[in-house]
Amino acid sequence: MKYCFDEKIDRSKNHSAKWAELGKKFGTDDLFPMWIADMDIKTAPEIVQAMKEKVEQEIFGYVYRPDSYYKSAADWLERRFGYKISEKTLIHSPGVVPSLSILVKLMTNEDEKILIQTPVYYPFAETIKDNKRTLVTNELVRDENGYYTMNFADLEEKLSDEKVTLFILCSPHNPVGRVWKKEELAKVGELCLKYNVRIIADEIWRDLVMPGVTHTPLASISKEIEDITITCFSPTKTFNIAGLQASFATFPRKEELERFDRELGILDIKRNNPFSLVAFEAAYTKCDEWVDQLNEFLSSNMDYTIDFIEKRVPEIKICKAEGTYLLWLDFSALGFTKEELSEFMKREAKVAMDDGYWFGDNGIGYERMNIACPRYMLEEGLTRIEKAVKSLRK
């Protein structure tokens, strides 16, 4: 491989939230961090070089976005996913979650309902509730092997409620790791068209899919579905540059893009910082090979984790994710309440993961594990879990 993802990493001086905010988040500092979704892997050297060149300019004032910034994002979308869009439909935003919050306010009223599919990334529900909208959930269905699918009968029933006017889709899905098939997405789009429900597609994980798996942008399926879909995405997860805090949104309707742009102006959050500007463009123009090799490494980490758990901790059930670098671990056989499982992970395993109940009530009994790290770190976290579960057998 041209790139190495397995080197030893020291983030003690990195001001890393993942490593330094354990006490704040979990109440104790003596945990091994496998929680927040950033990688213990250095970003692509091509991005680092672009940022070094920016540092060498020695001035970090306000920056504007050249046409090449938007072109790089549009070209990446066409090159990687076969979906061509106009650069004029793209707008910069400070992040996907801020975009969701702004869009909820702009596209719905307080007496309306917004649909999500649980278990799902918890800021979805928080954003809806914080904006005083009513949350409606369509629970995903899990089979005996841990593989999730959509409950389309329930989805249609929920969408048929005239108060439901917006659906937030997670694609690929965090935390269950599904990369939705084209036919699944087409059915979602057709149901939303049928019941006049707009869609926000959070596709921030779209680049991180396992070898042999294909992500389909929802808006690429048909012109009709494209017209009702606003897509949010970013290279931040893909290239481990989440701290640069910038993203894109794609708007099919010019008037909605302009409303969104005005809202960013009111909040005075329209500009990039100097480093996200050059990092994003370098990512989307120079790093195809890096991403391909990263996905191979993440796939091997998933395989290692599954083999370890199946052989040494069979009490835990696990299914390989099709996308993201997250694994959704089922601890329900241990018989813990959600509070007991959380305490077990902290007090006995000494591992910090995202508790499953954060993602919805149907996440109770689960933990979300981040496997985007060198193998030695993965071994450390898994060995801690094995030791803790072994203590229960006694």
- Do the beta carbons of residue 195 and residue 187 sit within 8 Å? no
Q: How far is residue 167's CA from residue 113's CA, in Å, rounded to a whole number? A: 9
DSSP string across 115-131: EEEES--THHHHHHHHT
Whether residues 205 and 263 fall in one domain: yes
Query: Are 106 and 226 in the same domain?
Result: yes
- Is 239 a domain residue? yes
Same domain, 201 and 307: no
Q: For residue 97, how many C-alpha atoms fall within 13 Å in the half-sphere facing its CB?
A: 11
HSE (side-chain half, CA atoms, 13 Å) at 368: 24
CB 385 within 8 A of CB 313: yes
Q: 216-266 pLDDT, tens per residue?
A: 999 999 999 999 999 999 999 999 999 999 999 999 999 999 999 999 999
Q: Bridge-partner residues for 170, per DSSP? A: 202
173, HSE (Cβ side, Cα atoms, 13 Å)? 26
In a domain, 54, yes or no: no
DSSP string covering 208-244: -B-TT-----GGGS-HHHHHTEEEEE-SHHHHT-GGG
Classify residue 87 by burial, with Cβ atoms within 10 Å: 0-12, 13-18, 19+: middle
Question: How high is the mean pLDDT of the chain?
Answer: 97
**189-223 pLDDT, tens digit each:** 999 999 999 999 999 999 999 999 999 999 999 99
Q: Residue 324 pLDDT > 80, yes or no?
A: yes
Q: Which backbone phi and psi does 83 adopt, to 5 degrees? A: -120, 115
Whether 130 and 251 map to the same domain: the answer is: yes
Predicted confidence band of residue 1 (pLDDT cuts 50, 70, 90): confident
Claim to verify: residue 168 and residue 180 sit in the same structural domain: yes
What's the count of helices (H) and strands (E) in the chain, helices before strands?
15, 14
The arithmetic mean of pLDDT across residues 291-307, rounded, is 98
Say whether both 114 and 250 belong to one domain.
yes
Indicate whether 104 and 227 sit together in one domain. yes
- C-alpha dihedral, 91 to 95 to 98 to 99, nearest 10°: 30
Considering the domain boundaries, does residue 6 fall inside one?
no
Residue 393 confidence (pLDDT) above 90: no
Q: Is the pLDDT reported for residue 390 higher than 90?
A: yes
Q: What are the two backbone dihedrals, phi and then psi, of residue 197, each rounded to the nearest 5 degrees?
A: -110, 130
Give the residue among 199, 217, 212 at the shortest CA–CA distance from 78. Answer: 217
User: 224 lies in a domain?
Assistant: yes
- Model confidence over 91-139: pLDDT tens digits? 999 999 999 999 999 999 999 999 999 999 999 999 999 999 999 999 9
* Pair 330, 361 in one domain: yes
Instruction: Give how many domains the chain has, as a whole number.
Output: 2
Residue 31: give the domain boundaries: 17-44+287-392
Going by the DSSP 8-state scheme, the letter that residue 259 receives in this structure is H
Q: Are strands 229-233 and 351-352 parallel, antiparallel or unpaired?
A: unpaired
Residue 7 is assigned to a structural domain of this protein:
no
Contacts for 63 with CB less than 8 Å, ≥ 6 apart:
271, 272, 273, 274, 277
Q: Are residues 279 and 308 in the same domain?
A: no
Is residue 49, in this structure, part of any structural domain at all?
A: no
Q: Is the pLDDT of residue 14 over 90?
A: yes
In a domain, 52, yes or no: no
Among 244, 263, 285, give the residue marking a domain's end: 285
Examine the fold and report which residue of 234, 267, 285 is the final residue of a domain before the chain moves on: 285
User: What does the pLDDT average to over 173-194?
Assistant: 98
Q: Helices 123-130 and 96-107, interaxial angle, to 10°?
A: 40
pLDDT at residue 166, as a whole number: 98
Is there a single domain that holds both residue 217 and residue 273?
Answer: yes
- pTM over 0.95? The answer is yes
Reading the block at residue 226, the tokens are 């494209």
Q: Provide the 10 A C-beta neighbour count for residue 30.
A: 10
Domain boundary among 228, 263, 285: 285
**Phi and psi at residue 278, to the nearest 5°:** -80, -30
In this predicted structure, the answer to whether residue 317 has a pLDDT above a threshold of 80 is: yes
Indicate whether 95 and 178 sit together in one domain.
Answer: yes
If phi over 0 gives left and psi between -120 and 50 gives alpha, with beta otherwise, what is residue 324? left
Q: How far apart are CA 286 and CA 280, in angstroms?
A: 10
Confidence category of residue 394, pLDDT binned at 50, 70, 90 = confident
Query: Is the Cβ–Cβ distance between 296 and 2 less than 8 Å?
Result: no
The separation between CA 92 and the C-alpha centre of its own chain, rounded to angstroms, equals: 18
Tell me, yes or no, whether 275 and 340 share the same domain.
Answer: no
At residue 255, the pLDDT reads 97
Distances (CA, A) of 211 to 79, 88, 302, 325, 344: 17, 32, 12, 13, 34
In the chain, what is the greatest distance between 2 CA atoms, to the nearest angstrom?
64
Residue 5 lies in a domain: no
